[in-house]
Amino acid sequence: MGSGNGLLGILIQTIKSKMTGLVTKFKLWTNWNFIKTKIVAKIRDFFASLLGVKPRNKEDYYTVGRWMISKRLMYALVIIVGVVSIWYITTETTIFKRFSEDGVPTYKYNAFRLRTAKGHVKITGKSGYLAYDGNVGKGYVTGEGTLYNPDGNMVYEGTFDQNKYEGNGTQYYEDGNIHYRGTFHDNLYEGEGTLYREDGSREYQGEFSKNMKNGTGVLYDSGENELYNGTFASDCIVYSELLGKSVAEVAECYKGHVDLYTANRESVAVMDGIGALYHAQSDSDALDDDEKVDSVYVLADYYRMGTDTLDTLEEVSEAFGDPIYEGNSGVILPEAIAVNKMNETKVNARGYIPMELDQVFSDVAEVKSFSREYVVYIHSFRRGDIIYSFVSDEEDDDTFNFYYLTGAEDEST
CA distance 350 to 373: 12
- Choose among 412, 369, 350: nearest CA to 387: 412
| pLDDT tier, 14 (very low <50, low <70, confident <90, very high otherwise) | low
**Where do the domains of the chain lie, and which CATH numbers do they carry?**
59-96 (no CATH), 106-233 (2.20.110), 250-412 (no CATH)
| pLDDT of 16 higher than 70 | no
What is the percent of the chain with per-residue pLDDT over 90, rounded to a whole number? Answer: 64
Alpha-helical (H) ranges within 254-294 are: none
Predicted confidence (pLDDT) per residue in 74-120, tens digit:
666 777 777 666 655 555 554 445 566 678 999 999 888 898 899 99
| pLDDT tier, 289 (very low <50, low <70, confident <90, very high otherwise) | low
Q: Which of the given ranges, 61-70, 81-90, 116-125, 349-358, has the highest pLDDT on average?
A: 116-125
| pLDDT tier, 5 (very low <50, low <70, confident <90, very high otherwise) | low
Predicted confidence (pLDDT) per residue in 125-174, tens digit:
999 999 999 999 988 999 999 999 999 999 999 999 999 999 999 999 99
Distant-in-sequence contacts of 339-342, Cβ < 8 A, 24+ apart = 339/374, 339/376, 339/391, 339/401, 341/270, 341/277, 341/299, 342/299, 342/301, 342/401, 342/402
Structure-derived torsion over alpha carbons of residues 330, 332, 338, 343, reported in degrees to the nearest 10: 40
pLDDT at residue 344, rounded to an integer: 87
Mean pLDDT across 189-199: 97
Q: Is 149 exposed, middle or buried (0-12, 13-18, 19+ CB in 10 A)?
A: middle
| pLDDT tier, 38 (very low <50, low <70, confident <90, very high otherwise) | confident
The secondary element (H helix, E strand) that includes residue 159 is strand 154-161
pLDDT at residue 96, rounded to an integer: 45
pLDDT at residue 313, rounded to an integer: 96
Q: What angle do CA 333, 339, 345 make, to 5 degrees?
A: 145
Predicted confidence (pLDDT) per residue in 237-248, tens digit:
999 999 999 999
Predicted confidence (pLDDT) per residue in 311-333, tens digit:
999 999 999 999 999 999 999 99
pLDDT at residue 73, rounded to an integer: 65
Determine how β-strand 375-383 pairs with β-strand 325-330. antiparallel
| pLDDT of 67 higher than 90 | no
Average pLDDT of the chain is 86
pLDDT at residue 113, rounded to an integer: 86
| pLDDT tier, 413 (very low <50, low <70, confident <90, very high otherwise) | very low
Amino acid at 112: F
* CA end-to-end span of the chain: 120
pLDDT at residue 412, rounded to an integer: 42
